[in-house]
Amino acid sequence: MKFVLAPDSFKESMTAKEACIAMEKGIKKVFKDAECIHVPMADGGEGTMESLVDAAEGKLYTVEVTAPLGNKIEGRFGILGDGETAVIEMAEASGLHLVKREDRNPLVTTTYGTGELIKTALDKGVKKIIIGLGGSSTNDGGAGMLQALGISLKDKVGRELNFGGGDLGNLEKIDLSNFDKRVLDIEIEVACDVKNPLTGEKGASYTFGPQKGATLKMVKVLDKNLKHYGNVIRKFLGKEVDAIEGAGAAGGLGAALIGFCNAKLKKGIDLVMEYSNLEKKVKDADYVFTGEGSIDFQTKFGKTPVGVAKIAKKYNIPVIAFAGKVGSGIEELYELGIDSVIGILSGVFSLEEALVKGKENLEVSVENITRIINTSKR
């Protein structure tokens, strides 16, 4: 029996890799000789870097970078087994989790550390960079990243702009003379599942600003500043980035990557499936097990279980999805290739207990389902 195990992380409970291990333990209690292929997944957000590095037998590196508020921290990036492809999660340097709730302020948070991760990857001689945009604390339009890559952003008196989205309204000149043009010699793919433009009611500031600490007054300032920023980019580069789908991702970092780095935006789950060679591993499997922390009707919008199921269904392979929480609307998922959704909780638990017992509950649930599979084969 061959099982392909392709779960996402169960947030705050276990990583995708740990979920694979728990699944295998459950399977091996029934089929001791089963072949279990681990393919830890992600959809472009948290865990994407580790999933790709694990799947491609790559290596993680730790470097000092600038955190959202300007202090120094250690951030990680990965290089895949080919030695030529780097994977960066912008949240490693510019993530919301790096800023205490009471200190969150997108007027001053910066993506400078993300630019430093890119430069370090370039120093390793990579030919391609994959960048995940989930979990941002910033609303600076990627300005900090550009400054780290040598681009000077100046006001009308020649002063370099301060960090954060609050100073973008003073931008008058973009100086590319010290730009690290190695960026233009490589391919950059961006894992991005949002389609928000840079500005407006559906733009970066109004949609994501409040969760990063912005008040309504701040949101209006940030949106106005990003609009000005987009106009200056058009003036100096001749590129219109404001209305592009995904330009508003990660507080406008999408716009900077598109406008200055010629990056291509792709669905996160598609990138992970491609670089993990999921289809090749799935095609001769007997069963595919997937899952993530919560599964409901929203899972159909580019989430891991549905992405995995679509691949498996090409080869008519049964797909079972496990979840810590099963919400409403899951019947829609059965039309997209998932054969069954299994909640892993074995009783009534507090959230804290459920998170702590996540691996144990997943192992037991997988064992129970595998026993049903075994019975059906008798």
209 and 119 in a single domain? The answer is yes
Reported as a pLDDT band with limits 50, 70 and 90, residue 378 is: low
User: 232: phi > 0 → left, psi -120 to 50 → alpha, else beta; which?
Assistant: alpha
185 and 305 in a single domain? The answer is no
- CA dihedral of 170, 171, 172, 177, whole degrees rounded to 10: 150
pLDDT averaged over every residue in the chain: 94
Q: Whole-angstrom Cα distance, residue 345 to residue 324? A: 6
317 and 217 in a single domain? The answer is no
Last residue of a domain, one of 244, 268, 292: 268
Reported as a pLDDT band with limits 50, 70 and 90, residue 349 is: confident
Q: Whole-angstrom Cα distance, residue 55 to residue 80? A: 9
Return the percent helix, strand and coil in the chain, to nearest 5: 45, 20, 40
Residues of the chain with pLDDT > 90, as a percent, come to 84
The domain in which residue 133 lies consists of 48-268
181 falls within a domain: yes
**pLDDT for 121-175, tens place per residue?**
999 999 999 999 988 999 999 999 999 999 999 999 999 999 999 999 999 999 9
273 falls within a domain: no
- Confidence check: pLDDT of 119 > 80: yes
Q: What is the CATH number of the domain that holds 25?
A: 3.40.50.10350
Is residue 157 within 8 A of residue 217, CB to CB? The reply is: no
Last residue of a domain, one of 217, 236, 268: 268
246 and 194 in a single domain? The answer is yes
Is residue 168 within 8 A of residue 109, CB to CB? The reply is: no
68 falls within a domain: yes
The letter for the amino acid at 52 is L
Indicate the range of 31-45, 63-77, 219-233 predicted with least confidence.
31-45
36 and 89 in a single domain? The answer is no
- Confidence check: pLDDT of 319 > 90: yes
φ and ψ of 206, to 5 deg: -70, -35
318 and 285 in a single domain? The answer is yes
Q: In what order do the strands lie in the sheet with 264-266?
A: 59-66, 72-79, 85-89, 128-132, 187-191, 264-266
288 and 214 in a single domain? The answer is no
223 and 285 in a single domain? The answer is no
361 and 225 in a single domain? The answer is no
- Based on the structure, what is the number of domains in the chain? 2
**pLDDT for 77-110, tens place per residue?**
999 999 999 999 999 999 999 999 999 999 999 9
